[in-house]
Amino acid sequence: MRWYWIDRFIEFESGKRARSVKNVSLAEEHLHDHFPGFPVMPGSLMIEGMAQTGGILLGEHFGFRYNVILAKVPKVVFHSWACPGDQLIYSAELLDAREEGGSVSVEATVGDRSVASAEIVFAHLKTDDPQFSRIDQKNFVFRMNLLDILTVGKAGSGAAGEVSGADGRRGEAVE
Amino acid sequence: MPSEEEILDKVRGTLVDALGVDDDEVTPTATLIGDLGAESIDFLDIVFRLEKSFDIKIPRGELFPENLASADAGFVAGGKVTAEGLEELRRKMPHADVESFAKDPVLSRISDLFTVGMIVRFIAARLK
């Protein structure tokens, strides 16, 4: 299993905001233990998905010159569950972006239902720093290969429905 | 120009949010690391929050200088900050109480320079 806790970006407005989708599936093995007979998406993995959404938003803002690592979650509130069959939407807004790091606020929703909200702080590591070249990739919110798989679509206005990705099909998923 | 007391109130709110401490713990003499349990990454969070709540810009290293006592700069000898090192601290951290630290400049105490009062004085100077 790869450490990808978002499936796709559906909106991406460089330096401002990004929205991604996480489809919760009963095929995810951890849901069978969390909890037996009551499968719900673990809150920690929702934080990871929110951090990946916000971390890529921050990383892209600096042209991916830095490794963006999750440094701190000053605030997170869970309002309800996300169960198999639910489509989580993570909406991230870039609050701060500077040389040392940045911060985002992220809302997680399923349809009209609010599931979680968080503030996340990231630190930047230089990509050529030999001291950190062997850091376990699980610690990284952003990796180039993650971006390749997600094929980020960019919308000029960020408005839903105007998004088109590199293959021209991504926009169809936007409602 | 807000009074020092007003600035302290806002700084207190910032530190309560950033560090999850109680507001009565945030006194002017409280040290960020020793008393309030801040870690290095919290400094970035604190800077973000101060910029927002006071509507100011705080360039990197101005409020919380990095590499304060790098060994190769000749600022530390025998576990103590040297006279040159203290001079450097006065220059880099005009809002910190370097004089109290200078009485017993043990390197391990250097983080005690980061106090709530230091932040308040820094902000007050910025808002002038």
| Interchain contact, B44 vs A100, CB within 8 Å | yes
The residue among A138 and B122 whose pLDDT is bigger is B122
Q: What is the ipTM of this complex?
A: 0.84
Task: Report chain A residues whose CB lies below 8 A from the CB of B44.
Answer: 71, 100-101, 121, 123
Maximum mean pLDDT: which of A62-66, A122-126, B100-104: B100-104
Q: Is B37 on the interface with A (CB under 8 A)?
A: no
| Interchain contact, A100 vs B41, CB within 8 Å | no
Dist CA A76 CA A120 (whole Å): 8
Residue A52 sits in a domain whose CATH number is 3.10.129.10
Rg, C-alpha atoms of chain B = 15
What would the mean pLDDT of B38-59 be, rounded to a whole number? Answer: 94
Residue A119 corresponds to which tokens in the numbers above?
């503030």
Residues A49 and A118 sit within 8 Å (Cβ to Cβ)? no
Q: Closest Cα of chain B to A71: distance in Å?
A: 7
What would the mean pLDDT of B43-72 be, rounded to a whole number? Answer: 88
Asked, for residue A155, whether it belongs to a domain, the answer is: no
Q: Is the pLDDT of residue B81 over 80?
A: yes
Residue-by-residue DSSP string for A60-93? HHTTT-EEEEEEEEEEEEE-S---TT-EEEEEEE
Q: Is the pLDDT of residue A151 over 70?
A: no
Q: Is the pLDDT of residue A126 over 80?
A: no
What percent of chain A has a predicted confidence (pLDDT) above 70?
71
The residue among A7 and A148 whose pLDDT is bigger is A7
Number of domains comprising chain A = 1
Q: Closest Cα of chain B to A66: distance in Å?
A: 16
What would the mean pLDDT of A167-174 be, rounded to a whole number? Answer: 36
Dist CA A71 CA A87 (whole Å): 27
pLDDT level of residue A143 (50, 70, 90 thresholds): low
> Considering only alpha carbons, which residue of chain A is nearest residue B49?
A96
Domain enclosing residue A94, as ranges: 8-144
How many CB pairs (< 8 A) connect A and B? 25
pLDDT level of residue A164 (50, 70, 90 thresholds): very low
Report CA torsion sign: A47, A53, A54, A58: positive
- Structure confidence at residue B66 (pLDDT): 81
Number of domains comprising chain B = 1
- Out of B45, B51, B60, name the one closest to residue A74 (CB): B45
Asked, for residue A172, whether it belongs to a domain, the answer is: no
Nearest to A58 by CA among A145, A155, A124, A126: A124
Asked, for residue A161, whether it belongs to a domain, the answer is: no
Task: Report chain B residues whose CB lies below 8 A from the CB of A124.
Answer: none
pLDDT level of residue A135 (50, 70, 90 thresholds): low
Q: Is the pLDDT of residue A142 over 60?
A: no
Q: What is the mean pLDDT of chain A?
A: 80
A61 an active-site residue?
A: no
Phi, then psi, of B95 in degrees rounded to 5? -95, -5
- Out of A75, A95, A101, name the one closest to residue B44 (CB): A101
- Structure confidence at residue A79 (pLDDT): 97
Dist CA B127 CA A163 (whole Å): 43
Residue-by-residue DSSP string for B8-76? HHHHHHHHHHHH---GGG--TT-BTTTTT---HHHHHHHHHHHHHHHT----TTTSS-SSTT-GGGT-E
- Structure confidence at residue A153 (pLDDT): 53
Tally Cβ neighbours within 10 Å of residue A40: 16
Q: Is the pLDDT of residue A141 over 90?
A: no
Q: Is B66 on the interface with A (CB under 8 A)?
A: no
- Structure confidence at residue A125 (pLDDT): 82
Q: Is the pLDDT of residue A162 over 50?
A: no
Residue among A34, A61, A79, A124 flagged as catalytic: A34
Asked, for residue A33, whether it belongs to a domain, the answer is: yes
- Out of B44, B51, B60, name the one closest to residue A121 (CB): B44
Domain enclosing residue B70, as ranges: 4-127
Residue-wise pLDDT tens digits, A94-124: 999 999 999 999 999 999 999 999 999 999 9
The residue among A113 and A140 whose pLDDT is bigger is A113
- Out of A75, A98, A123, name the one closest to residue B41 (CB): A123
pLDDT level of residue A154 (50, 70, 90 thresholds): low
The residue among B69 and B27 whose pLDDT is bigger is B27
Q: Is B62 on the interface with A (CB under 8 A)?
A: no
Residues B92 and B65 sit within 8 Å (Cβ to Cβ)? yes
Asked, for residue A159, whether it belongs to a domain, the answer is: no
The residue among B5 and A129 whose pLDDT is bigger is B5
Dist CA B107 CA B111 (whole Å): 8
**Chain A interface residues (partner B, CB cutoff 8 A):** 71-72, 74-75, 95-96, 98-101, 103, 121, 123
Dist CA B119 CA B8 (whole Å): 9
Residue B111 sits in a domain whose CATH number is 1.10.1200.10
* Kind of pairing between the strands at A101-110 and A87-98: antiparallel
- Structure confidence at residue A155 (pLDDT): 47
